[in-house]
């Protein structure tokens, strides 16, 4: 059982990296010339983010685009999605099982209606 969870975590790490790298290239802020998208990954603690960082017209910008955590049970928690992309659906198309995705930014009492795992 422990080996299965470790394999699931490794698989989910790979999926999240592929997803974030793809969106880092696709999601360029409109008219923000000196802003870059950065993928931030902590494989030890299992935190994965896509952030936008830089300067726009003399104003420093730092924005979280996506934030995912992988919990010790191997489930992916979607912590933040500041886009109109149905990112949980993207995870499904990449082979992540529906019951391995938790929409963490939804209140706990609403998660049963999300169609994904509740925790």
Q: What is the pLDDT of residues 49-108, one digit of tens each?
A: 999 998 888 889 899 999 999 999 999 999 999 999 999 999 999 999 999 999 999 999
pLDDT in tens, 9-61: 999 999 999 999 999 998 876 665 678 899 999 999 999 999 999 888 888 98
Q: What radius of gyration do the chain's Cα atoms show?
A: 15
Distances (CA, A) of 23 to 29, 79, 81, 116: 12, 16, 12, 22
Give the per-residue pLDDT at 35: 83
Contact 42, 70 (CB under 8 A): no
Give the per-residue pLDDT at 58: 86
Strand order in the sheet with 76-81: 34-42, 47-56, 59-70, 76-81, 101-103
Give the per-residue pLDDT at 55: 86
Give the per-residue pLDDT at 27: 80
Give the per-residue pLDDT at 28: 72
Separation CA 37–CA 95 (nearest Å): 25
Task: Measure the N-to-C terminal CA separation of the chain; round to a whole number of Å.
Answer: 19
Give the per-residue pLDDT at 72: 97
């Amino acid at each position: 059982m422990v080996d299965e969870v470790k394999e699931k975590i490794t698989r989910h790490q790979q999926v999240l990296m592929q997803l974030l790298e793809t969106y880092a290239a696709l999601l360029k802020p409109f008219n923000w010339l000196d802003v870059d998208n950065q993928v931030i990954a902590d494989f030890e603690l299992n935190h994965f983010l896509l952030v936008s960082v830089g300067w726009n017209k003399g104003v420093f910008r730092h924005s979280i685009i996506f934030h995912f955590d992988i919990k010790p049970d191997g489930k992916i928690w979607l912590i933040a999605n500041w886009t109109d992309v149905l990112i949980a659906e993207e995870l499904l198309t990449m082979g992540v099982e529906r019951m391995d995705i938790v929409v963490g930014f939804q209140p706990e009492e609403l998660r049963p209606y999300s169609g994904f795992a509740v925790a």
